[in-house]
Amino acid sequence: MTFASPLFLLGLLAVAIPIVVHLFNFRRYRKVYFSNVDKLEQLQTETRRQSTLRQLLIMVARILAIVFLVLAFARPVLSRGDADVRTGANDVSIFIDNSFSMENSDGSGMLLDKAKTKAREIVAAYAPGDRFQLLTCDVEGRHFHWLSKEEMLSAIDEVQISGSTAMLHDIARRQVDFLHGGSGINRYAYLVSDFQASTVAMDAMPTDTTVTLTLVPLAATVQGNVYVDSVALGVPAVHRAGSTSLTVWLGNEGDVDLDKVPVALYVGDRQRALATVDLAARSSSAVELHFTVDESGVLDCRVETEDYPVTFDNVYYFSLNVRDRVDCLIVEGNGRNPFLASLFEGDSSVRCTTMPLRQMDFTALDGHDMVLLDELPSISSGMAQTLHSFVQQGGTLVVVAAADADYASYNAALALFDAPQLGGKHEGKVTASFVDMGNALYLNVFNGKKGVEANMELPTVGGYHRLLSTSSTLREPLITLAGGDDYICHTPHGEGHLYIISAPLSDSHTDFVRQALFVPTLYNMALYSVTPSALASTIGSSQTLPLASKYDVEGHAVRMRKRDADEVQEIIPDVRSGVGGSRLVTANMNTDAGNYHILRDGEVSEGVSFNYSRDESKMTFLGVDALQRTANDYGLNNVSVVPNPDKPLDVFLRERMDGRSLWRWCLIFSLLMLLTEIILIKVKTK
């Protein structure tokens, strides 16, 4: 036990006063004369021993009253076994969880309000000269400055609910790093949160023992929540007048099975699809929505469901950038191909340009989405390098091998793509044995039937080139021949695609050009050559989203604006252009959920969308026992959990830092001794 004001212990010398008073009894007795001494027998007499005992008890009560009163002024402190008694200046970092889940209630009010109250109690436990840092899920630059006690209290009052989500172990690491830059002798970090399981990784918590990390869990009333988790298109790219399927994943965080939960798709302000889905308790499920794209340009889309009271995740925003048409360039090595001409001519979705090899202009690749090399006898090194850059930036290259292809030039070009090499010619007819109907080119083409189950006529090929692979080759067979050789294969490269057709597209080499597979194969190669942009991004994540257009950020003013915003607020996005095209960097981008438009020189170029993190949708929380047990399991000796967050934290923290103060008990015992003295005196006088 220690004393906060030990000089007051000199007051214990005052115990000599009652001792002196009781040793020297200055009371003078006087004689009383009675006419009849017989009456004295009726009086209750008191023996000398009883009188002496009472006097001693009165003296002890007075001594103890003085002793306890002196101890109260000396402020005794009892150090507990788990107390963290320290002296010197304190640096304190407090994190207040202001994510969407803090809108939940504990029965008495919103959790965020309770978190702010707990933060004020933490501040109250420290001295006016201590320094403070306030962190929230937003993690802004202004949070990394020291605040005085008064400034900290004002900053706490300004905390509001935010759409940002933070991983608590990342926050703790930021706190530790910031505290190490301070000058305080003692370092304390506090996390005030509901501790959603999806945001906590105790094994990643900092283990720095120079910083005391305290967890303050706030318990909410557990309730269910239905949310739209994510969406995915059923096709690689969307084109006008095309049928599109959208898969929507929904989650149910409640303990009750739900039937016929409505899901609606909106394109712009029009509802384009509606469905219902059954959701089992604590599970997720998917539902498909089908719609036809009947317009081009930027389509602002959203999927909605109905749920209450947690509503921030009822809507999922995404953007579709639909081109009017696809630009295709056919480089002719052996004259005009009538089958390719009949496929693309007169089609409003594909604008096809043909160019003889001898008139080939490498600059003509700009502005095209797909380039088809039709039976070129050889591929020059300059053309190969140009085509390589074209594919890396997101273009699609289709190589139709000529019957008399120059293997050396072809293989040198294909090596740039890590693609299969031409390895000898096979004479004689071979029928295809396998078609990968699960490939994106054939999705929704044959009513979901796969392979030979579609009962379609498979192509026969004669006089094709074998495609050989090495350890570094990337290949995805689309149509495989009976002997195991590939007739058509796909190699992804950079942001684009390379397709190799191992025989000429002519009647003399294959009947593929007259079969049902021919049209979707070549047509979808063209349609899906458009570089797809990301459907949506998660707010707070560090992503680089591929953009549908390429931007010259130095030569053009690029801005981003929210669709249908009440106030037009333009954002200067971080757009970076490189070999793979342009990308939008979302790190540190402060946006709300919704559809946004990217403006180039003031005109709408394309759309992007942002959604709040679905980590906040998962209503599973870690309480006091779970946090403490997990901290013990991982040996986090610097981490402690407040055992009862409902009680005032300032008292708990003062006891932890200074030990348990006993001055109140000393004052109470002093008053009790004075009361005892009064009772003994009153009894004596009766």
Rounded to whole angstroms, how far apart are CA atoms 620 and 613?
15
- pLDDT above 70 as % of the chain: 89
Rounded to whole angstroms, how far apart are CA atoms 131 and 586?
33
Cα separations (Å) of 605 from 76, 297, 558, 561, 611?
Answer: 73, 9, 9, 11, 21
The CATH superfamily assigned to 90-222+621-658 is von Willebrand factor, type A domain (3.40.50.410)
Q: In sequence order, what are the beta bridge partners of 231?
A: 248
Q: Kindly give the pairing relationship between strand 186-193 and strand 211-217.
A: parallel
**Can you give the pLDDT at residue 451?**
44
Which of 74, 662, 20, 669 is CA-nearest to residue 677? Answer: 669
Maximum mean pLDDT: which of 57-66, 498-507, 555-564: 498-507
Instruction: Say yes or no to pLDDT of 658 above 70.
Output: no
Whether 319 contacts 267, CB under 8 Å:
no
Instruction: Say whether the peptide bond before residue 309 is cis (omega within 30 degrees of 0).
Output: yes
Torsion angle defined by CA atoms of residues 346, 350, 356 and 357, in that order, rounded to the nearest 10 degrees = -160
Identity (one letter) of the amino acid at 254? G
Cα separations (Å) of 568 from 30, 562, 596?
Answer: 103, 7, 11
**Can you give the pLDDT at residue 85?**
52
Rounded to the nearest angstrom, the gap between the alpha carbon of residue 577 and the centroid of all alpha carbons in its chain is 26
Which of 511, 442, 436 is CA-nearest to residue 478? Answer: 436
Q: In sequence order, what are the beta bridge partners of 2?
A: 77
Rounded to whole angstroms, how far apart are CA atoms 675 and 667?
12
Instruction: Say yes or no to pLDDT of 379 above 80.
Output: yes
Query: What mean pLDDT is predicted for residues 615-631?
Result: 90
Cα separations (Å) of 410 from 383, 400, 415, 420, 461?
Answer: 11, 11, 9, 10, 21
The H-assigned helical ranges of 532-662 are: 624-633, 649-658
Query: What mean pLDDT is predicted for residues 327-355?
Result: 89
Instruction: Say yes or no to pLDDT of 163 above 90.
Output: no
Rounded to whole angstroms, how far apart are CA atoms 190 and 176?
11
**The dihedral sign for the CA sequence 542, 546, 547, 550:** positive
How sure is the predictor about 660, in pLDDT bands with cuts at 50, 70 and 90? Answer: low
Average pLDDT, the chain: 86
**At how many degrees (to 10) do helices 407-415 and 381-392 cross?**
30
Who wins on pLDDT, 191 or 323?
191
Task: Provide, for the chain, the percentages of residues in helix, strand and coil under a 3-state DSSP scheme, each rounded to the nearest 5.
Answer: 30, 30, 40
**Can you give the pLDDT at residue 1?**
65
**Can you give the pLDDT at residue 338?**
93
Rounded to whole angstroms, how far apart are CA atoms 270 and 180?
55
The H-assigned helical ranges of 147-235 are: 149-157, 168-180
Identity (one letter) of the amino acid at 342? S
**At how many degrees (to 10) do helices 649-658 and 111-124 cross?**
40
Which residues make up the CATH 3.40.50.880 domain(s) of the chain?
A: 330-363+372-527
CATH code for the structural domain at 330-363+372-527: 3.40.50.880
Rounded to whole angstroms, how far apart are CA atoms 60 and 673?
9
637, two tokens: 């000796």
**The dihedral sign for the CA sequence 398, 402, 403, 405:** negative
Instruction: Say yes or no to pLDDT of 8 above 60.
Output: yes
Instruction: Say yes or no to pLDDT of 27 above 80.
Output: no
**Can you give the pLDDT at residue 44?**
47
The CB density around residue 678, as the number of other CB atoms within 10 Å, is 12
Rounded to whole angstroms, how far apart are CA atoms 15 and 424?
114
Whether 231 contacts 247, CB under 8 Å:
yes
Query: What mean pLDDT is predicted for residues 485-498?
Result: 93
**Can you give the pLDDT at residue 289?**
95
Burial of 666 (0-12, 13-18, 19+ CB in 10 A): buried
How sure is the predictor about 87, in pLDDT bands with cuts at 50, 70 and 90? Answer: low
Instruction: Say yes or no to pLDDT of 564 above 90.
Output: no
458 DSSP assignment: P
The mean-pLDDT minimum among 168-177, 441-450, 468-477, 580-589 falls in 441-450
Rounded to whole angstroms, how far apart are CA atoms 70 and 667?
9
**Can you give the pLDDT at residue 490?**
96
The CA-based angle 116-122-124, given to 5 degrees, is: 105
Q: Does domain 226-323 have CATH number 2.60.40.10?
A: yes
Cα separations (Å) of 285 from 225, 264, 303, 613, 614?
Answer: 14, 15, 15, 18, 15
**Can you give the pLDDT at residue 569?**
67
Whether 95 contacts 174, CB under 8 Å:
no
Instruction: Say yes or no to pLDDT of 62 above 60.
Output: yes
Which residues make up the CATH 2.60.40.10 domain(s) of the chain?
A: 226-323
**Can you give the pLDDT at residue 79?**
62
Q: In sequence order, what are the beta bridge partners of 77?
A: 2, 661
Rounded to whole angstroms, how far apart are CA atoms 302 and 315?
7
Instruction: Say yes or no to pLDDT of 36 above 70.
Output: no
Rounded to the nearest angstrom, the gap between the alpha carbon of residue 25 and the centroid of all alpha carbons in its chain is 82
Rounded to whole angstroms, how far apart are CA atoms 389 and 383?
10
Cα separations (Å) of 77 from 127, 660, 664?
Answer: 18, 5, 11
Whether 607 contacts 299, CB under 8 Å:
yes
Rg (CA), the chain: 41
485, two tokens: 């050789």
Instruction: Say yes or no to pLDDT of 445 above 90.
Output: no
The CB density around residue 374, as the number of other CB atoms within 10 Å, is 24
Rounded to whole angstroms, how far apart are CA atoms 535 and 346?
31
Instruction: Say yes or no to pLDDT of 676 above 80.
Output: yes
510 DSSP assignment: B
Question: Can you tell me whether residue 446 is helix, strand or coil?
Answer: coil
Q: Element (H or E) spanning 400, and its range? A: strand 396-400
Q: Does domain 537-611 have CATH number 2.60.40?
A: yes
How sure is the predictor about 141, in pLDDT bands with cuts at 50, 70 and 90? Answer: confident
How sure is the predictor about 579, in pLDDT bands with cuts at 50, 70 and 90? Answer: low
**Can you give the pLDDT at residue 303?**
97
Query: What mean pLDDT is predicted for residues 38-42?
Result: 51
**What are the residues whose beta carbons fall under 8 Å from the beta carbon of 223, sequence distance 6 or more?**
104, 254, 309, 310, 619
**Can you give the pLDDT at residue 61?**
85
Query: What mean pLDDT is predicted for residues 269-275?
Result: 94
Instruction: Say yes or no to pLDDT of 45 above 60.
Output: no
pTM above 0.85, yes or no: no
Instruction: Say yes or no to pLDDT of 222 above 90.
Output: no
Query: What mean pLDDT is predicted for residues 439-449?
Result: 72
Whether 630 contacts 206, CB under 8 Å:
no
